[in-house]
Amino acid sequence: MSAHKKIDWFPYMLLVPASLITLIIVAWPLAETIRLSFTDASMSPETQYVGFENYQKMFSRRFPEVIARTFYWMMLSVTFKIVVGIIGAVLLNAAVPGRTLARLLIMPPWIVPIAVGVFIWGWMYNGQFGMISGLGQRLGLLAGPFEFLAYRNSAFMSTIITDVWIGTPLVTIYLLAAMQGVPRDLYEAAWTDGASRMYRFRRITLPLIMPSIATMSLLSAIWTFNSFDIIWILTEGGPRNATTTMIIDTYKTAISRFRYGEGSARAVMIVIFLALFSGFYFLMIQKLSKRGDIK
Amino acid sequence: MKKYTVTLGAALMATTAGVSAANAEDMHMIMCGDDTTPGIAVQADLISEWEAANPNYDVVVEFVPWGQCQEKSMTLAAAGNPAALAYLGSRTLKQLAQNDLIVPVNLTEEEAATYAAPILGTVTWNDQQWGLPRAFSSKALWYNRGLFEEAGLDPETPPTTWEELLTAAKAITENTEAAGYGLAAASFDNTMHQFMTVIYSNGGEVINSDGEIVFNSENNVQALQFVADIVEYAEPGPVAYDRGKLETLFAEQQIGMLIDGHWLTGRVAEDVNMDVVPFPAGPMGASSSLLITDSLAIFNGSGMEDAALSLAKMLTNPANQMSFDIAEGYTPIRTGPEVDALIAGDATWSPFIDVIPAGGPEPFVTDYVAMQDILNEAIQGVVLGEVDAAEAVEYAAEELESVK
């Protein structure tokens, strides 16, 4: 009897096209970015290897401040998205008339092309013609026209609000789906025992959708970390760099200033941070699968 | 038989023409904007004329929106796949020349003499010209005569000094519903452009002819202090405003004065009673303006540099350039009888043309985007009251050393 086991190559052959495409569109640009980050690549046709100089230069200037700002921006934005998303999901999950229509109406911020949505917000933030400033003045909250994008703090918060507006529908729909997976008999039993709405939410809904909240928080953090178009259209990173996040700083360095080497070093830092997030995400998924929260 | 011979001859000629056309090499030319403006039709006729005289080339003009145009030309060149020629802001020429991406345009003395010296200065580096000026603008101070009257000011005696300008802006702010002055302070190129006119009107400079950064001067501290002083009489939140948004405010009669180009006439309704004067002089200087040119640059490595240069020179020769300028409504690059006729027909051209000899170019540096960011940050710093003018100028001067 032969111990020789015949290898079935067919499944591996099927993986070849996808692997090749992944190599070409992901691995090669990534490897090239890492290589460029160790060079002085610029507009000049001549490029030299400079070791870790780009990384040293990056950290000797104000990049640490940019990193801190990016995390602060991301954490505020994700927190708002999750909180508003939970509230929205609870409301959409309630057995009230018009629920289907409400579920449809929550989607436009996510469906409208981002650039269009952000331009609309840009006009709303305008002091002279904008709706928000006008409303503030009519309600007596503002003494005169207020330019939301003209001051560091208000510009910072304005970009976050726009990001939350765009990102919340997806969070809401995701959490709504999680809520609908909670067994109805748990609520019925609690209701029979006289548990209030808030009690049922706190002791049944929240614990059971917690894995979904954690998953969504991480995914949202990854998307928000890389959010470029919203900030670029509204403020281009200003005023005085108040909204310059890592991705904006990378674009300005690599594309606007043609410092490809320095820009690549910044891009590598973004990859490292996102790899950490992703690693954490997969660990969490693994842990939840073992616990049986994800099947 | 004769019929067959004629048919055969015609077929042969058609084939030859087809082969000849197929042999014509594509010459890639990048233009900024769209192909709907009147000057583009003039240019298209001239290109056809040039193609007829140079049958080996077929000029393929690509129109790229302003926002991406410059970046596209420069990135293609840096990637080793340059266009033959492209329309670019002249401020990029030094950076391109230093990286050996463009070739000098070798103006003869006769050709150079057709340009005013300050205009030639916008394309000159290391004693060589690196682009052929294609579009030109200077700036002046537009003011709303109606708002002047409403504020108790005499519209016949507009401000000639910064002090008078501040007084007028204060009067408009206090006595009308409008703000006195339109101040651009957004993170955008025309914020720096507006400020450069202020700097030049006080005898200041960013970089001198020897390539040294001379930004840290009393002239420039005063210029930035002027910006800080006028904030009180400007539209609320200047950091949110670039020139385009200010033009809207001016058209809506919500600001009394604005530094802008001649194109403003076409953007304001006729019932707005406005006038224009040279930008007032600062305490240490004389009335001046930033002079901006856009140029046709010839890229190195396209393999058709000489032909591209010949096309660019043909498009920008005095007669053809004047037709283009007049059709587009641009400030004419050269003087001539057409310019006299222009001023005679519309006196508002006068401040824009008279200021040319006193004007200054966009600073020629190796990293103009960084320079723009540095100057804009200094402006935003004083506008937001976060730094004083002297401090902002000193810091900016240090930063500018890395981009010269």
Option in B101, B236, B380 nearest A43 (CB): B101
B66 and B209 in one domain?
no
> Does A152 touch chain B if contact means CB atoms closer than 8 Å?
yes
Is residue B92 a part of any domain in this protein?
Answer: yes
What number is the average pLDDT over the span B273-297? 95
B115 and B94 in one domain?
yes
CB–CB contact A150 B240 (8 Å): yes
> Does A100 touch chain B if contact means CB atoms closer than 8 Å?
no
Could you write out the three-class secondary structure of chain B?
Answer: CHHHHHHHHHHHHHHHHHHHHHHCEEEEEEEECCCCCHHHHHHHHHHHHHHHHCCCEEEEEEEECHHHHHHHHHHHHHCCCCCCEEEEEHHHHHHHHHCCCEECCCCCHHHHCCCCHHHHHCCEECCEECCEEEEEECCEEEEEHHHHHHCCCCCCCCCCEHHHHHHHHHHHHHHCCCEEEECCCCCCHHHHHHHHHHHHCCCCCCECCCCCECCCCHHHHHHHHHHHHHHHHECCCHHHCCHHHHHHHHHCCCEEEEEECHHHHHHCCCCCCEEEECCCECCCCCCCCEEEEEEEEEECCCCCHHHHHHHHHHHHCHHHHHHHHHHHCCCCCCCCHHHHHHHHHCHHHHHHHHCHHHCEECCCCCCHHHHHHHHHHHHHHHHCCCCCHHHHHHHHHHHHCCCC
CA distance to B146, B334, B356, per residue, from B139 (Å): 22, 16, 10
What is the tens place of the pLDDT at every residue in B186-207? 988 899 999 999 999 999 999 9
Structure tokens at B310: 């010949």
Return per-residue pLDDT of chain A as tens, 295 residues: 455 677 888 988 999 999 999 889 989 999 999 999 999 998 887 889 999 999 998 887 788 999 999 999 999 999 999 999 999 999 888 877 877 888 888 888 888 999 999 999 999 999 888 999 999 999 999 988 899 999 999 999 999 999 999 999 999 999 999 999 999 899 889 989 888 888 998 999 988 999 899 889 989 998 999 899 999 999 999 898 999 999 999 999 998 888 999 999 999 999 999 999 888 888 887 887 776 655 4
Q: Spell out which residues of chain B touch residue A261, defining contact as CB-CB under 8 Å.
A: none
B174 and B274 in one domain?
yes
Report the C-alpha gap between A158 and A156 in whole angstroms: 6
B99 and B111 in one domain?
yes
Report the C-alpha gap between B117 and B122 in whole angstroms: 9
> Does A229 touch chain B if contact means CB atoms closer than 8 Å?
no
B215 and B162 in one domain?
yes
Q: Looking at residue B275, which CATH number applies to its domain? A: 3.40.190.10
B193 and B70 in one domain?
no
Is residue B357 a part of any domain in this protein?
Answer: no
| More confident call, A186 vs B336 | A186
Answer whether residue B382 shows pLDDT above 60: yes
B382 and B266 in one domain?
yes
Peptide bond into A239 cis (omega under 30): yes
Q: What angle do CA A177, A183, A184 make, to 5 degrees?
A: 105
B218 and B110 in one domain?
no
Q: Where are the domains of chain A?
A: 45-291
Q: How many domains does chain B have?
A: 2
B224 and B77 in one domain?
no
Domain that holds residue B205: 140-288+365-400
Q: Spell out which residues of chain A touch residue B370, defining contact as CB-CB under 8 Å.
A: 257
B122 and B192 in one domain?
no
Instruction: Identify the band that residue B339 occupies on the pLDDT scale cut at 50, 70 and 90.
Output: confident
Q: According to the model, what pLDDT value does residue B45 have? A: 95
> Does A45 touch chain B if contact means CB atoms closer than 8 Å?
yes
Report the C-alpha gap between A273 and A263 in whole angstroms: 16
CB–CB contact A149 B240 (8 Å): yes
Q: What is the nearest CA distance from B271 to chain A, expressed in angstroms? A: 21
Q: Which of A106-115, B16-25, B332-341 has the lowest mean pLDDT?
A: B16-25
Indicate the residue type of B59: V
Q: According to the model, what pLDDT value does residue A102 have? A: 81
Is residue B300 a part of any domain in this protein?
Answer: yes
Is residue B154 a part of any domain in this protein?
Answer: yes
| More confident call, A169 vs B340 | A169
Residue B200 CB burial class (10 angstroms; 0-12, 13-18, ≥19): buried
Q: Spell out which residues of chain B touch residue A44, defining contact as CB-CB under 8 Å.
A: 99-100
Q: What is the nearest CA distance from B154 to chain A, expressed in angstroms? A: 28
Report the C-alpha gap between A280 and A265 in whole angstroms: 23
Alpha-carbon radius of gyration of chain A: 24
CATH for A45-291? Answer: 1.10.3720.10
Structure tokens at B118: 């300050």
Per the prediction, chain B carries an average pLDDT of 90
B249 → chain A, closest CA residue: A128
Option in B236, B249, B254 nearest A146 (CB): B236
B111 and B26 in one domain?
yes
Instruction: Identify the band that residue B172 occupies on the pLDDT scale cut at 50, 70 and 90.
Output: very high
Q: What is the nearest CA distance from B286 to chain A, expressed in angstroms? A: 31
Is residue B23 a part of any domain in this protein?
Answer: yes
pTM of the predicted model as reported, rounded to 2 decimal places: 0.83
- Cβ neighbours around A227 below 10 Å, total: 23
